[in-house]
Chain A
Amino acid sequence: MMETTETIDQDKNISVQRTGEETRKLAFKNVLCTSCGLCEKICPVTAIEVEPAGATLEEQEASKIDIKEDKCVLCGMCACICPYNALEMEIDGKSVKDIEEYPKLLKSAEISEDVCVYCKACETACPRDAIVIARDLPERSKLVTGEIEIDKETCIDCGICEELCPADAITMEHKEPTADSPTVSSDIEVDKDKCVYCLICKKACPVDAITAACRQCSYGEYDLKAEDSEITGSTFIDEDLCVDCGWCEEICPVDAAKVEKAFEGTITVDQEKCQGCETCVMICPCNALSFPKSEESGGKPEKLHAEEKYCIFCGACEKACPNEAITVERTGIKSTPIKSKSWKTAFESVKGTSK
């Protein structure tokens, strides 16, 4: 006969398993959980209890959620609603994400490499460090406006250009003069990879030994080629870390990033109740909440600012707020089609507020 067993490992991850006609396994990853409470809300058998989020901010002994093995029937609803992939369910080794009849939240984040200019703004802004932008820059020497040349016949080895060059592009081979070679330098070289064509050397040269060849003016010998300034690269979004918060889409200057969110909704802050404890700011995985810096130092902190553009309406802040100052209301939920009536009802039931 079937049996449900539960194990908790040292990283506070929970595994619940039932072996019968098929083997069902529910895996909870503690580190990914934000204590938003959606699993607790959807569980049809009240097997899940989410610990108060305020307490989870400090190092805690227990897992962020508690799954009661005597109640859990491994239906998988919690795994299908979790927006953080903290709960995953497998049936006979196959993730329910790969089983068609189980609904999946419609959420995604994509960066179009055809449009991306590899500015890295999204990489910097991503609150989950889920984005990696790798870029290959063109050779700098190909982008400078021109080149210099030193006429070694005219050069008097004064070393002024070497001393002045801000890019350390000029090197003189200093030496002691000898009878057979009565000069203070054996050679002078320009490193074209370093030279930025600032022409300080040319202006400073006391004997006019430096010639400038501009690439842009019609008298120059060179022209800038478009392909020389091309920037190539690649973009990567770690789907395990990404929570589809929308930061990359909002910050991208060229509209290369597109984010689809599973929940629609609103977030409102009761400024009277907010005590400025910042629990919500710490708990939000989307950096959707912030306290604007006070203008004058030592001044009273500004009020909490909640930005719906970056919010995924998980409700973690609402649950964590010790003063009930935040209200998150889910007005819509997008998922793959659901045939089962009870699953439809369950998914609809996460709409509204928790209050």
Chain B
Amino acid sequence: MTDQSVTNTHGVPMPKHIISGLKYLAAVELRKNNFTQKEIAEKLEMDRSTVSHYLNGRNISWHSIEIAEIIRNFCPRDFSTLTYALLQDKKKTRTIVKICSNKMFKCMVKNTCIGCGVCADACITEAIVLDDLEAQINSDWCCGCMICMEICPTKSIEIKEVEDDGDYRNY
């Protein structure tokens, strides 16, 4: 199948269009947390002028921002899997999701874990590594999609949403 992307009225393919909306939301969020434009550009892998335009509401359609807003309010699984489907990159997915969402998760691995690595393969934010035949989950990076929990063959993973204490923001 050839790539026949759906385009918007300006001829921009829809997926990219939505990514721009998400990046806009992330840029605004970072700005609120006193990141400089330079830092925002580095974090989101954008050039500084685009960041500047976005923060001033230029070069971005309001419609794409509206769509991005809707996506951001999806449940964690839908938000992160859709973002990953758009970006096709686990690290970028983690950056966008963790900045745009204010949800925090606590991840626990029980000692019934056999270290098969299925969860690490499935994790869309690369938050899981294996150490001494046991999965280690970085709670800061967890997007709460719960895919690992469901896929784990020994039901060894527990993910709980926790209160955002405000000062973690370890993007």
Contact = CB atoms under 8 A, between A and B. Distances in A.
A342 B132 contact: no
B117 A342 contact: no
A122 to B, nearest CB: 37
Contact of B112 (A22, A24, A71, A342): A342
Nearest to B134: A340
Given A340-B132, A343-B133, A24 B117 contact: yes
A75 B114 contact: yes
Interface residues of A, number: 23
Nearest to A77: B114
A343 B134 CA distance: 10
B18 to A, nearest CB: 21
B111, B115, B116, B133 pick with most chain A CB within 10 angstroms: B133
B113 interface: yes
Interface string B98-142: 000000000000011111111011100010000011100000000
B interface, how many residues as a size bin?
10 to 19
A5 to B, nearest CB: 14
Given A44-B153, A45-B153, A73-B153, A343 B118 contact: no
Contacts of A71: 153
Contacts of B156: 342
A340 B120 contact: no
A340 B109 CA distance: 12
A346 interface: yes
Does more than half of chain A's interface fall in helix, strand or loop, or is it mixed? loop
B154 interface: yes
A58 interface: no
Nearest to A22: B117
A298 interface: no
Contacts of B120: 20-21
B150 to A, nearest CB: 13
A342 B154 CA distance: 10
B105 to A, nearest CB: 20
A3 to B, nearest CB: 9
The 9 A-B residue pairs with the shortest CB-CB distance, nearest first, are A20-B121, A341-B111, A75-B116, A73-B116, A2-B121, A340-B133, A75-B114, A339-B132, A45-B153
Interface of A: 1-2, 18, 20-22, 24, 44-45, 71, 73-77, 101-102, 339-343, 346
Interface of B: 111-118, 120-122, 126, 132-134, 153-154, 156
